[in-house]
Chain A
């Protein structure tokens, strides 16, 4: 069938909307992506560096609570701490509401999709306490502004983000011969976590040409990357391993540890041909299907090498390749895509989204996402969410999608559209006959809407 606006909006955007026109061509999609980020302006989420200082108060309150001397003190301090935690969570619930409002109301759906893709590629997760709310601001700062630049810039932003440094234990990795390492008398040293995932997941891929020795050397080179809650990313020469390190045959740095040497290594990893192959495969799998066409992957990889990893050039290849527009089953939507496209088809208005009511966001969005297998910002491991359709459509996860599709639209909108009309809003001109039949034959409006949303036609891209 090739390009149609409907297919473009479903497959590469956030789904059809009854009020926002689908893009007329691939060119239009790319142009909008190159334009300023209107959705982020309309529904703001703060950058991580802006929110980190608020963690200082939380951390202090947590310490105070533990050091309470009397019973009364304990009660008071616990209350004070809980109040801060609640406020922090309430704010984060609002950010999640904005994340979905962007999807519901954007004219630039491709941006939401590539942002989610790269955020997943650079999965980072808060491991404890107040860090749990850092994911949205992490994506806003380290990923979203860079999805139209070069991969090298994106890699640098992700690898120096406080959330990544926290998640993959980089702040605990100390050069054994740095001044801090020497002071610890052998107690502190290297932690390989970030270095390994950077090679295996972020750049070369697990089949890439690296060895355990490269992991070790890169880990030594990355020492010194750190941050403070007050001011964000910093480089601490006092804990960076001195002397040169050799990664994939290239030697970085000399006597004195310098941040520039780290950046040079990141740039070289970004430029590596194995990185091109790895990223081409991931993009093709995510946007076209579990078994992508080899030709599509080869073209993306070639363009990556030709342009030194210009991300816009990669999207250009993807959107202009016939494999992107093939008929047949598309990928299964992940829960975030499924819910986002539901809100969009429902023509959700900002006043329908309970951004100021954290308990509603929790019950109607956050917990259902977890039941569907995708707790927001909490991917179980650094390789992010699974891509295979079969990972998402298990009985227990599908049951959660079904339940949500039947019950939550009404909870949010209070009035539901006429099912026959909604059918066209959600599926456009291509609704299969059984879905049309179900839209007519269901006993209640909620069930009709739920069955349309639960249909494979809607749950696939």
Chain B
């Protein structure tokens, strides 16, 4: 990998690309490696129903609001888990799976997925909705001493605001491939040179496809392009499978990567929730299991955190589903987390306790938890977190999410 990277740098220099402008040409300083801790951020898109994942069966109102919840797994007496969590119960028992209840971003009232996700990924307050062009995870990465361009990866085919920004965040998908003849690569770099968006993406694609662990290095002729496309097609026909994404992320995390981010869709359960939620949850549990299995010894240093744009209505709607709400839940997993418990204050489910008499009321800003993770895992300064990563957030008391 070192060889191909140097090779690439020399080639770019020979072409006269403006190196300073490329986000890839961040010097790799091995002496200042950013520690050994790993953070995996999963965005659950669509609004994950925290009340179905983590069922507050000890609240007297719950049975009325969710009459058809079915069987649950006992967690804490007060909380019961959705039956789909079963594969993760060994992790729960070992203290490697935990939850935070009744959290949300500062987003309120309009309950739009898209604004909600923007705010979740931007990490800002509602007043700067739509104005932030970079994500909190990118800003966090920018503060980590010794971060290189392999330190952070956004995995999958979708673009994430979370990862966007000035710090060098790699973007790649397990089924992406790029095989070019040396001549084609030179010409391509030349053609892209004057358009920064295309130039940077091209350089990164060439670079990442070379460091892709599964791609065979060596001579690649133009004719192989057909095979490469066919292989991508084969891989892509299976879709963005959660275990493929998780395995790819784990490969990176076992190497130089310290942060990985990706999305899991399918949480917008307006209808027949018992089916839709179970499907989405199985993708999440599969992801966490695959991370656990593939990370090996690195699992012990890993924190996985899954967050969503909002929770859903406390009451079931008229079609066995739930509509967009406010307070939700956060999932934590990994050998580094202080699991086996549900953190956070419980607001209650009586109608007067609900937000706008319909949604679970959030009792804490989830950005405070994310900020504390940055502090615990990467030693980030509290003030920098409150002003730079999550501007305007008060971190408050340390919730003690990690060991």
Interface residues of A (CB under 8 A from B): 168-169, 172-174, 176, 181, 187-193, 196, 200, 206, 211-212, 329, 332, 362-363, 367-368, 370-371, 373, 380-383, 386, 389-391, 393-400, 402-404, 406-408, 410-411, 432, 434-435, 437-438, 441-444, 446-447, 450-451, 454-456, 459-460
Contacts and interface: CB of A to CB of B under 8 A. Distances in A.
Given A169-B271, A399-B178, 8 more contacts: A190-B317, A196-B111, A196-B112, A332-B197, A395-B171, A398-B198, A399-B205, A400-B232
Contact of B115 (A172, A181, A206, A404): A206
B184 A200 contact: no
A196 B312 CA distance: 14
Contacts, number: 199
A395 B176 CA distance: 9
A399 B317 CA distance: 43
Contacts of B111: 196, 212
B197 A393 contact: yes
A189 B317 contact: yes
Contacts of B208: 395
A427 B360 CA distance: 56
Interface of B: 45-46, 109-115, 157-159, 164, 170-173, 175-181, 183-184, 187-188, 190-195, 197-198, 201-202, 204-205, 208-209, 222, 225-226, 228-230, 232-233, 236-237, 265, 268, 270-272, 317-321, 323-324, 356, 358
B225 A403 contact: yes
B177 A399 contact: yes
B318 A446 contact: no
Contacts of B191: 434-435, 438, 451, 454-456
Given A188-B319, A371-B175, A390-B197, A383 B114 contact: yes
B318 A191 contact: yes
A250 B112 CA distance: 23
A415 to B, nearest CB: 16
Contacts of B183: 441-443, 447
B233 A368 contact: yes
Contacts of B188: 402, 438, 451, 454
Contacts of A395: 170-172, 176, 201-202, 204-205, 208
12 contacts: A174-B318, A206-B115, A368-B229, A371-B236, A381-B113, A395-B201, A396-B205, A434-B190, A446-B222, A446-B225, A454-B191, A460-B195
Contacts of A383: 113-114
A370 B239 CA distance: 9
A273 B268 CA distance: 30
A191 B319 CA distance: 6
A400 B231 CA distance: 12
A444 B202 CA distance: 20
B270 A444 contact: no
A396 B176 contact: yes
A41 to B, nearest CB: 33
B222 A367 contact: no
Contacts of B319: 169, 172-174, 188-189, 191
Contacts of A169: 270-271, 319, 321
B184 A193 contact: no
Pairs of residues from A and B, 8 with the lowest C-beta to C-beta distance, nearest first: A189-B318, A172-B319, A456-B195, A395-B205, A396-B176, A438-B187, A396-B173, A399-B178
B187 A399 contact: no
A394 B178 CA distance: 13
Contacts of B202: 395, 398, 402
| Interface of A, helix, strand, loop or mixed by DSSP | helix
A191 B321 contact: yes
A391 B178 CA distance: 19
Contact of A398 (B45, B170, B205): B205
B157 A396 contact: yes
Given A191-B318, A451-B191, A443 B184 contact: yes
A443 to B, nearest CB: 5
Nearest to A208: B110
Contact of B317 (A191, A368, A390): A191
B225 A399 contact: no
Nearest to A402: B178
Contact of B271 (A191, A404, A443, A456): A191
A362 B204 CA distance: 28
A450 B225 CA distance: 11
Contacts of A456: 191-192, 194-195, 197-198
Contact of A206 (B110, B193, B272): B110
Given A191-B323, A371-B175, A396-B205, A390 B270 contact: no
A173 B318 contact: yes
Nearest to B319: A172
Contacts of A174: 318-319
Contact of B324 (A181, A187, A192): A192
Given A391-B159, A446-B225, A451-B191, A396 B171 contact: yes
Contact of A443 (B192, B194, B222, B233): B222
Contacts of A438: 187-188, 190-191
Contacts of B45: 380-381
A196 B324 contact: yes
Nearest to A406: B225
Contacts of B158: 373, 380
A407 B323 contact: no
A401 B191 CA distance: 15
A404 B177 CA distance: 11
A191 B312 CA distance: 13
B270 A193 contact: yes
A211 B111 CA distance: 10
Contact of A399 (B159, B209, B265): B209
Contacts of B268: 381
Contacts of B192: 455-456
B323 A192 contact: yes
A370 B170 CA distance: 20
Contact of B164 (A380, A390, A454, A455): A390
A337 to B, nearest CB: 16
A371 B230 CA distance: 12
B229 A408 contact: yes
Contacts of A371: 157, 175-176, 232-233, 236
A365 to B, nearest CB: 11
B66 to A, nearest CB: 13
A432 B164 CA distance: 30
